Amino acid sequence: MEPIIIKKLTFAYPGQSPLFSNCHLNINSDWKMGLLGRNGRGKTTLMKILLHQLDYTGTVTSNLNFAYFPLVTNESGDLTINTLLGAPGLANLAQWQIERELNTMGVDPTILWQPYNTLSGGEQTKVQLAAPFALPGAFLLLDEPTNHLDQVGRKQVAAYLQTKQQGFILTSHDQAFLDTVIDHTLVIERHQLVLEQGNYATYFAQKKRRDQEAAAKNHQLKAEIKELKKTRQQRAKWAQRAENEKKNNAHADKGFIGAKAAKMMKKTVTTTNRLTSAIEDRQGLMAEVEEIVPLPLNLVRTHHETLLSVDKVALSGPPRPSSNPSALRSRPDSKWR
């Protein structure tokens, strides 16, 4: 079991805010880990950092042999086996090693003798997964392997990944797929790497609890800040009232009133500074909670707008063609059977 040790990792693309800021993380190579985060948060970037394809500050230490999916392939009419062996890092693989992985996946190995560019997107995904997993001791970085898979293909690949003893890091937008194959979750949140034990459902439940606690704390802090601002404003009014009294009372003892106003002003400044400091302290304690705001769709429903109009169409098929051309018009309130 080889660890991946990350210390003080900081990275930003030129002219952009940091994706990672002083991150620390220890990963075990036998973990099947899902890498989560919103688009643009740095999932693919983190994989490129592990592959030493990007410059960064901090240290990333590991003796693992990383392999990346999807492969960089030549999209030619060459045989699939030649296309795979021509990808970076796979030249020394034996044919039988790839065939073994395809058999484990439930894919007929004769697919290797078909031209690569004739394979469907799902078939290309499967052979591209099988080849790097055939590498002895490889630790795979799987970047969206579900993109070109239908539901049957996703179940097939999920079952295949469940057979693996070695760990991997996986990104996918398919939550059900993640729940099936991962046992740890690594999430990119606010430029940090947050590690959770468990699958996506476990992470989501824990995040929901943390966010609820943070929201409750923020609510309390906002109430305290509001009260402190109110007190600060009241103190300022008292000081201003004392100053106005000094200016407007022509017959009073100017020295006494002036001293009283000065004393009040000094006390107000001290209190205001203390209140301002307390407000800033509470503002600093407020937690960042990501909120997903639903996008409103103001749809105006109409029962009179024509959605589809068809005229003089004849349908044909076994056992005999239709002899009567048909006309059709559909509206939003139409019901089809």
Task: Concatenate the DSSP letters of all residues of 149-180 into one string.
Answer: --HHHHHHHHHHHHT--S-EEEE-S-HHHHHH
For 148-163, b/e burial (b = at least 16 CB within 10 A) is: bbeeebbebbbebbee
Residue 183 lies in a domain: yes
pLDDT at 215: 74
Same domain, 226 and 124: no
Same domain, 43 and 80: yes
Residue 56 lies in a domain: yes
pLDDT in tens, 92-105: 999 999 999 999 99
pLDDT at 280: 76
pLDDT at 305: 57
Split into its structural domains, the chain has a count of: 2
Q: CA 118, 119, 120, 122: dihedral to nearest 10 degrees?
A: -170
Q: Which positions of the chain have pLDDT values less than 50?
A: 292-300, 302-303, 321-322
Distance between CA atoms of residues 255 and 69, nearest Å: 83
Same domain, 100 and 233: no
Phi, then psi, of 36 in degrees rounded to 5 = -115, 160
pLDDT at 251: 56
Residue 280, domain extent: 213-285
Same domain, 162 and 229: no
Q: Environment class of residue 303 by beta-carbon count within 10 Å: exposed (0-12), middle (13-18) or buried (19+)?
A: exposed
